[in-house]
């Protein structure tokens, strides 16, 4: 029998834990309160980005379904291309028209 491997996580006395490859050496980690505030900022930023993305998709759907266009698409065609249900495509088209004509729409980026 060969020598046994040391237990997982074991280090010789005085050895330092290796730093992750992408962590800056010598920089202090943020205080827990600071991390919570940063997490809240990131959450709000991601929500805002999601809202903008939904609004962008709604405006695009409304433009594709515009009856003034000779090459307009039906809600069914938009739903197929976007991998949506037809009902959702109709709601997105309506929401996009509200955004185009009224600026802010219903106040929320959720068309449902």
Tell whether 24 is covered by a domain: no
Higher pLDDT, 4 or 96: 96
Tell whether 7 is covered by a domain: no
pTM strictly above 0.75: no
Sign of CA dihedral 83, 56, 66, 69: negative
- The count of domains in the chain is 1
Question: Residues 60-102: pLDDT tens digits?
Answer: 999 999 999 999 999 999 999 999 999 999 999 999 999 999 8
Q: Quick one: residue 108, left, alpha or beta (phi over 0 = left, psi -120 to 50 = alpha)?
A: beta
Per the structure, the complete domain to which residue 46 belongs is given by 34-102
Question: Residues 25-66: pLDDT tens digits?
Answer: 655 665 666 777 888 899 999 999 999 999 999 999 999 999
The C-alpha atoms of residue 51 and residue 8 are separated, in whole angstroms, by 45
| Alpha helices in the chain, H assignment, sequence order | 32-64, 75-82, 86-102
Tell whether 42 is covered by a domain: yes
């Amino acid at each position: 029998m060969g020598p046994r491997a040391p237990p997982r996580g074991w280090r010789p006395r005085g050895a330092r834990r290796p730093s992750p490859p992408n962590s800056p050496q010598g920089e202090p980690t943020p205080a827990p309160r600071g991390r919570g505030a940063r997490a809240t900022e990131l959450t709000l930023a991601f929500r805002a980005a999601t809202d903008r993305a939904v609004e962008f998709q709604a405006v695009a759907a409304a433009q594709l379904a515009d009856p003034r266009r000779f090459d307009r698409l039906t809600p069914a065609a938009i739903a197929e291309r976007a991998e949506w249900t037809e009902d959702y495509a109709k709601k997105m088209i309506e929401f996009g028209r509200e955004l185009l004509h009224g600026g802010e729409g219903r106040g929320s980026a959720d068309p449902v």
